[in-house]
Copies of this chain bind each other. A is one copy, B any other.
């Protein structure tokens, strides 16, 4: 029995899966795919691992699976991650799914795009007009408003009810992403800051371990802007 995780800890769903598997104390082999070196575009990765040229991917005894949310559900069915993080009860599971399905276009698209246009693209010499950049920031802030008020602001401690689930981990790793582009949601939304701290504590030391590279980039960016 073997489980490989193709990942790059700069990618938020890669971090989610890495943290989950570490938390589950499951014996897996991380296979690092350096996105900055375009290793996900290599002939080998494209033909042997993922024709979509993305991470994360798992290889579970030869069964290759892409798409982080699909992977989490599979790992839950295979009892590799604990039931508490992805409930078996039909209605509770539906509530977690409701968030996971919403988050693709509701949250992830906007945080990722902001990170890409403000941090990644300039590294490759692509610069965007200030007003266009402001448009991307505005859309991300709108998404964060919805997350802050319509998910967190519902009187529960976590995204779904009063217990940590994978929904919190997907959201938390996502909200780390714009920090590399100089925007920290925790500094703008007190409820997000309180919640994020609890999620981080729940998944530590693995949460911090998965964010070492990201936090280094954040620090480097901050000193460059001083």
Contact = CB atoms under 8 A, between A and B. Distances in A.
Interface string A73-94: 1100110000000000011011
Contacts of A43: none
A70 B91 contact: no
Copies assembled: 2
A77 B65 contact: no
Contacts of A209: none
Contacts of A52: 102, 146, 150
Interface in A38-68: 51-52, 63, 65-68
A105 B104 contact: yes
A184 interface: no
Interface of A: 51-52, 63, 65-71, 73-74, 77-78, 90-91, 93-94, 97-98, 100-102, 104-105, 108-109, 146, 150
